[in-house]
Amino acid sequence: MKEQNKYDQMLSGLCDQLQRILPFAEKVTDEIVSEETEMLQVHIPRMFEVMHRAARLSCDYVKHGR
């Protein structure tokens, strides 16, 4: 019983520490996700344009190559 109480206290202490850390983790996560999303908003349209040009070039090659 005494040993079980010791483990219960350890678990309770761990939960208390996590509750103090989690708000900071959420803030950091939000900042990282926001920065990465901003980068993707720039690069995805560029990638689409490159893929579109490559597809158009391939199609034109097939059409005119025969």
Q: What is the pLDDT of residue 31?
A: 79
Q: What is the pLDDT of residue 55?
A: 93
Secondary structure of 9-51 as H, E, C letters: HHHHHHHHHHHHHHHHHHHHHHHHHHHHHHHHHHHHHHHHHHH
Q: What is the pLDDT of residue 47?
A: 92
Decide if pLDDT at 1 tops 70.
no
C-alpha 46: how far from its chain's center?
A: 20
Q: What pTM was estimated for this model as a whole?
A: 0.45
pLDDT tens-digit map of 2-55: 676 777 777 788 878 878 887 877 777 777 777 778 888 888 999 999 999 999
